Amino acid sequence: MENIKIVGIGGSLATHSGSLHALQTALHGAKLQGAEVKLFDIKELNLPFYDLRSNVVPSDAKLLCNSIAEAQGLIWSAPLYHGTISGAFKNVLDWLELLEEYTPKYLTGKVVGLISTAGGAQALQAINTMEYVVRALRGFTLPMVVPIPRAWQVIDKDGTMKDANVEKQLLNLGKEVFNTARQLSGVPV
């Protein structure tokens, strides 16, 4: 049986990233189902600003796009900054333009689970932004999303989930991405 591969993209440039910890929890939920998971922490990626004038493609951009091309599903986790995703997260998504050269192009046939963390109450706004990006890249988003308002009350700096309900939602998101990716790819149960 073919392994289901799930790629996670997330985090922030902050010292303690709640969105990264949330992503790790969701990927753990996918792994518990049997997924092979790979995490891309945006803080660790060495990606300059995406610039159409440059022909230089960083090795991290190639690795990211190759991993996505091989995956059946993805989980994105972004912080909410001023009503949308952070610039650092958006820059990583801009590098997905390289997937235009792949067959199938972009995120065709892939499911994406979405998570956002916010300091205030408006975490859903980042989810909305990411949904538009997924659609533009020809992917599918799960109807289930996990916006985490006031994330500082939910996720400790060490990544410990202080809210069992949010932790359960994240684990379920990972499970749903795995199950949907398996169904869309035709891998038998």
- For 58-80, how does the pLDDT look when each residue is reduced to its tens digit (9 = 90+)? 999 999 999 999 999 999 999 99
Q: What per-residue confidence (pLDDT) applies to 189?
A: 64
Strand partners, 146: 115
Nearest to 84 by CA among 45, 131, 48, 47: 131
- For 15-53, how does the pLDDT look when each residue is reduced to its tens digit (9 = 90+)? 889 999 999 999 999 999 999 999 999 999 999 999 989
- Run of H or E residues at 78: strand 73-81
Q: For residue 2, is pLDDT > 80?
A: no
Q: What per-residue confidence (pLDDT) applies to 50?
A: 95
Q: For residue 81, is pLDDT > 80?
A: yes
pTM beyond 0.75, yes or no: yes
- How much of the chain, in percent, has pLDDT values that exceed 90? 88
- For 138-151, how does the pLDDT look when each residue is reduced to its tens digit (9 = 90+)? 999 999 999 999 99
Helix%, strand%, coil% for the chain, nearest 5: 45, 20, 35
What residue segments make up the domains of the chain, in order of their start?
5-185
The angle subtended at Cα 23 by Cα 101 and Cα 76, nearest 5°, is 30
> In terms of CATH architecture, what is 5-185?
3-Layer(aba) Sandwich (3.40)
- How much of the chain, in percent, has pLDDT values that exceed 70? 97
Asked if 114 and 146 touch (Cβ cutoff 8 Å), the reply is: yes
Q: What per-residue confidence (pLDDT) applies to 1?
A: 45
